[in-house]
Amino acid sequence: MIRRNLWIKFVLILILAAAAGYISWPSTQALQIGSWYRNIALQEGLDLKGGAHLIYQADVSKIEKQDVTAAMNGVQQVISDRVNALGVSEPDIRLTSIGSAPAIIVDLPGVTDISKAKSIIGSTAKLEFRDETGKVVLEGKDLVPGGASAAPAQTAAGQPAAAGNSWQVNLNLTAEGKQKFADATTANVNKPIGIYLDNQLISNPVVSGPITDGQAVITGSFTAQQAKDFALQLNYGALPVPISLVQEQTVGASLGSDAINQSLMAGLIGITLIFLFIIAYYRWCGVVATLALILYALINIALYKLLPVTLTLAGIAGFIISMGIAIDTNILTFERLKEELRLGKPMAVAIQEAFRRAWTSIRDSHISGLISATVIFFFGTGGVRGFAVVLIIGTLLSLFSAISVTRTWMLLLAGSRLQKLLNIAKE
């Protein structure tokens, strides 16, 4: 019965190995099952993939000193919302200072259209509707959150307008905004109401009649992308304080390629030497551990692609450290096994006792590692957080690799011809 359970576990591990190997293979960029499709390309950070590095300085001259921190947190949140809406994978947005002036750093991995990113990030997106006297009759705060959307422009009869730059932005107003707009359009029939974004007139339609349904339309010479970008800015609010771009840097992908190749080569050489050492020193146990650690690496990479995890140089360092943790876990167990064998116990019993006695030390070391990585994640920024994520994943998988994979394979080999062929330890 016990033997059968071991073989079932062995088969399940082989299935897991095949799945992890397929997903982690470099050419596997997507998964598709029937109509279900998901892109699983490995995400690379700014230091590996290249992209844009922007630094903005905030003008807080009109903000009370005690409110500066809250205002900058608001700036960070608005920029984060806008960047996420752009679809940038794992942006790094953090507060800093230039001298005594507050500032914010924005790293955008993989961004190629930097001009577009800058226009969306840096705009204060202050929307105002003004009558012909200059009175503000409607503001951006009167919009329902997320209530701006881009759509093909329509004629007065409700038909699609001619092709070309014929897109509009539809606005859904709050209850208060609905009433304000109804009052304004009622009072300004046959008169223009100008629509301003950051004090620039973008449209000046003439009111043909009262609008009481809480729906406003911004028309102009918008392309589809311009209308979508405009709606994005409105949906994610105005910046609490004005910001200005003070530094811009484009990080080339070639730099990242060199860095990742060198780091991977160094890690591969180091891990290979360790594998050779544990095979030479622990013989059959070392062979089992090496195979288990290869599976461990494949599962790690597969999870990076599935979650996904954005890989940076710091993340690569975290992966190599987690490999060290996994190797150390195996070595701790093997040393316990040698002690049990010296007491004259049969191999299978010695293996069970070795894992049981090593468990307390393995558990405590992994818990302390997880606590440290969690603290780094919550208090770190950017690549440091990426390092923590990779370390957390690696630490958890180390437990699985040592307790489930290595243990199952060792128990199956115990007393077998293959174990005796390798002639590792005397029973």
Tell me: do 143 and 31 sit in the same domain: no
Tell me: do 33 and 83 sit in the same domain: no
- Helix or strand holding residue 330 (H, E): helix 313-342
Tell me: do 266 and 404 sit in the same domain: yes
Task: Residue 184: count other Cβ atoms within 10 Å of its Cβ.
Answer: 21
| The dihedral sign for the CA sequence 128, 129, 134, 135 | negative
Question: Of the candidates 255, 242, 131, which has an alpha carbon nearest to the alpha carbon of residue 185?
Answer: 131
In this predicted model, what pLDDT tens digit does every residue of 287-301 receive, in sequence order?
Answer: 999 999 999 999 999
In this predicted model, what pLDDT tens digit does every residue of 343-362 receive, in sequence order?
Answer: 989 888 999 999 999 999 99
In this predicted model, what pLDDT tens digit does every residue of 270-329 receive, in sequence order?
Answer: 888 989 999 989 988 899 999 999 999 999 999 999 988 888 878 888 998 998 899 999
Instruction: Give the CATH number, domain containing residue 327.
Output: 1.20.1640.10
Q: What pTM, to 2 d.p., does this model score?
A: 0.66
Question: Quick check: is 362 in a domain?
Answer: yes
Tell me: do 36 and 52 sit in the same domain: no
Question: Quick check: is 207 in a domain?
Answer: yes
State the average pLDDT over residues 53-70: 87
Tokens (6 digits) for 171: 């606005």
Tell me: do 137 and 96 sit in the same domain: yes
How sure is the predictor about 426, in pLDDT bands with cuts at 50, 70 and 90?
A: very low
b/e map of 311-343 (b: 16 or more CB within 10 Å)?
bbbbbbbbbbbbbebbbebbbbbbebbeebbee
Q: Which amino acid is at 250?
A: T
Question: Quick check: is 427 in a domain?
Answer: no
Whole-number Cα distances in Å, 337 to 71, 274, 342, 344, 362: 60, 20, 9, 11, 14
Tell me: do 195 and 264 sit in the same domain: no
Query: Based on the structure, what is the number of domains in the chain?
Result: 2
Contact between 75 and 60 under an 8 Å Cβ cutoff? The reply is no
What is the pLDDT at residue 131?
Answer: 93
End position of a domain, from candidates 230, 250, 270: 250
How many Cα atoms sit within 13 Å of 404 on the Cβ side?
16
Question: Quick check: is 288 in a domain?
Answer: yes
Is 30's pLDDT higher than 60? yes
Tell me: do 322 and 381 sit in the same domain: yes
Residue 54 lies in domain: 47-250
Tell me: do 291 and 348 sit in the same domain: yes
Is 424's pLDDT higher than 70? no
Question: Of the candidates 127, 172, 158, 151, which has an alpha carbon nearest to the alpha carbon of residue 226?
Answer: 151
What is the pLDDT at residue 385?
Answer: 82
Q: Which of 27-41, 50-64, 168-182, 215-229 has the lowest mean pLDDT?
A: 215-229
Tell me: do 100 and 16 sit in the same domain: no
End position of a domain, from candidates 227, 250, 273: 250
How sure is the predictor about 135, in pLDDT bands with cuts at 50, 70 and 90?
A: very high
End position of a domain, from candidates 223, 250, 277: 250
Instruction: Give the CATH number, domain containing residue 226.
Output: 3.30.1360.200
Contact between 117 and 111 under an 8 Å Cβ cutoff? The reply is yes
Tell me: do 258 and 245 sit in the same domain: no
Higher pLDDT residue, 87 or 78? 78
Tokens (6 digits) for 302: 């597969």
Question: Quick check: is 376 in a domain?
Answer: yes
Tell me: do 111 and 224 sit in the same domain: yes
Contact between 88 and 28 under an 8 Å Cβ cutoff? The reply is no
Tell me: do 90 and 11 sit in the same domain: no
The CA distance from 294 to 332, in Å, is 18
What is the pLDDT at residue 103?
Answer: 92
- The chain-wide mean pLDDT, for the chain, equals 84
Question: Where are the strands (E) in 81-214, listed by range?
Answer: 92-98, 101-109, 127-130, 136-139, 143-152, 167-173, 194-197, 200-203
